Amino acid sequence: MSKPLNTTYWTGAWIRFREPVNEFASCELATVYARDGAQCRGLYWTPKNNPKPKVAVIAAHPRVDFSEHYAFPQLLRAGYACLGANLRSLKNDVNCIHEQLLLDMAAYVQWLKEVQGIEKVVWLGNSGGGSLGCFYQAQAKAAPGQRLKLTPAGRPVPLAEIEMPAFDAMVISAAHTGQGLIVNETIDPSVVDEHRPLLTDSSLDMYDPANGFKPAPEWSSYAPEFVERYRAAQLARVARLDAVAKAMVRERIDAEAAQSSEGLSSLPFAAQRALMQQANFQPVMVIYRTMANLHYTDNTLDPTDRGYGCLISTRPHLMNYQISGFARIQTPDAWLSTWSGLSSNANLLKNAPAVTEPVAVVHAGRDLDVYPRTHTQRIWNSLGSTDKTYFDFPEALHYFEPAAGEDPNAGAMAQLGKVVPWLQSRVPL
C-alpha cells in the first residue's frame, strides 16, 4: 500500500516524504555496525542524474525516523546524495545513550566514505539532530585521547578507539539547544512526590488559574516573579532526578564489582544470589508530568506568531498527564545522558564553539517548541564558525509542515530554495 502524501507529516516517530521520488532518485539499504557491535540501518538515496556523487547529506535524530526526510527530494534534485541514518534508539529512547549514538554516526560516515566513495559529508541537524550533530562534531574534532571516555553515568564508551570523520559543513534547522535543556524548560516543578505524581504544589502549577493560566484559545500571562521561581524549581526537580539516577547507577556498579570479586564464592548461596540479582537488575525511572513549559501558554515570554500549545499537543495542560510526554520512561543511564539538562553532554551550546565549518542556521518562525531568543539566537551566538548564515522563515512550523490547503511541499521548497544555493556555494558537487 502506498503511503499518503497529503496527511500529517509529523507522527512523533517518523518524517515523511511529501512527494514521490522514484522518478529522479534511487535507494539502497545502508547497514552499519558500530564499534560496540550495535547494528543500525538507514536508507541511502542517490540522484539518477548523478549516481556516483562525491558529496552526501546525512540526517539523523536520536529517536525519529529520518530515512525519508522532507528535505531530501530537493537535495537529490540538486545532485547530492542523502543518507537517512537511523540510530540504535529509533522510536524508543528508553535507553538512549548519546555517547553511544556517536558510535553509530561514525560508522555511517565511514560507510559513506569507504563504501560509497563520498569525499565530503554535510550534516543536516533538524530538531534534536542539531544538538546530536554538534556533539558528534565536537568529539570528532577532538584528539582521540581528549574524547569522552565515560558516559554521564560512568560507563566506558570507546570514542577514543574509533575513526570519527568530521563533517565538512552543517545545516542546523529548527533545532533546540539539546534534549536535556528542553526538559529543563518543560518539566513540571509542581510535582511534590515522584511516586505520587498527582500531588501538586499549587504555588508552582503553571496550569492553575491563580498563577495566570488560561485555557486555549486565550493566552496566559505569568508574573515575572512566578516565572523566576518556576524556572528555579524546574532545575531543582531535575537535580533531584539526577540524584536518584546516580544512586541507581552506583548500586548496580557496586554490585557488579562485588559479583566479580574473588570473595564471592565464599559467601552463602543466598547472599550470592542477591548480589547477582542486584548486579543484573536494570531499573527504569518513570518521570511524570514533563509537558509544562511556560512558553506553551504565554507567548509574551519569547514572542512569535506561534499557536497555543506544543509540538505534540494543542492542550498541554492535559498532555502533561499523559504517556507521550518527553522523557516519560528512562533508564537512569539514559536520563543522565539524554534528558537531564544538568548532566547531558549533548548540550548544543557547549559543543557549538567546536563547529568552525560553514554552517547554516534555519529558524521556523511559528515553531511550537523552538523559540528565537530561547534557542535559535543562542545557538547562532555559540557557533565557532566565521562562515555562518541565518535563514528565517516567519510562517514556518517545526518540520515545515504545510498549512491547510497548501501545496504539501511548499514549505520544504521555500526552505531548500535558499539552503541549496548556500550548500552549493560551500560544498559544491
> What are 102-126's pLDDT values in tens digits?
999 999 999 999 999 999 999 999 9
- Percent of the chain beyond pLDDT 90? 83
**Mean pLDDT (the chain, rounded):** 93
Instruction: Map 109-129 to HEC letters.
Output: HHHHHHCCCCCEEEEEEECHH
pLDDT value, residue 110: 98
pLDDT value, residue 2: 42
- What Å distances lie between residue 124 and 54, 112, 137, 360, CA to CA? 17, 15, 12, 10
Label residue 28 by pLDDT band (50, 70, 90): very high
pLDDT value, residue 10: 52
Return the ∠ at Cα 60 (arms to 59 and 64), rounded to 5°: 130
- Percent of the chain beyond pLDDT 70? 97
H helix or E strand, kind and range, residue 362? strand 359-364
- Please say if the pLDDT value at position 6 is more than 80: no
Quickly list H helices, 148-305: 179-186, 224-259, 269-280
pLDDT value, residue 409: 83
Question: What end-to-end distance do the CA atoms of the chain give, in Å?
Answer: 36
Section 271-293 average pLDDT: 88
Cα separation, 214 vs 208, whole angstroms = 8
Strand-strand pairing, 196-200 and 55-59 = unpaired
- Please say if the pLDDT value at position 11 is more than 70: no
- Please say if the pLDDT value at position 179 is more than 90: yes
- Please say if the pLDDT value at position 259 is more than 80: no
8 Å CB contact between 321 and 287: no
Label residue 4 by pLDDT band (50, 70, 90): very low
Local structure of residue 70 (DSSP, 8 states): T
Section 241-251 average pLDDT: 95
> What are 406-427's pLDDT values in tens digits?
788 888 888 999 999 999 999 9
Section 293-321 average pLDDT: 95
Section 155-163 average pLDDT: 97
Section 147-176 average pLDDT: 97
- What Å distances lie between residue 251 and 146, 157, 332, CA to CA? 29, 20, 11
Section 91-100 average pLDDT: 95
Least confident of 15-24, 52-61, 132-141, 200-209: 15-24
Section 316-327 average pLDDT: 92
Return the ∠ at Cα 255 (arms to 252 and 259), rounded to 5°: 140
pTM: 0.94
Return the ∠ at Cα 353 (arms to 351 and 359), rounded to 5°: 95
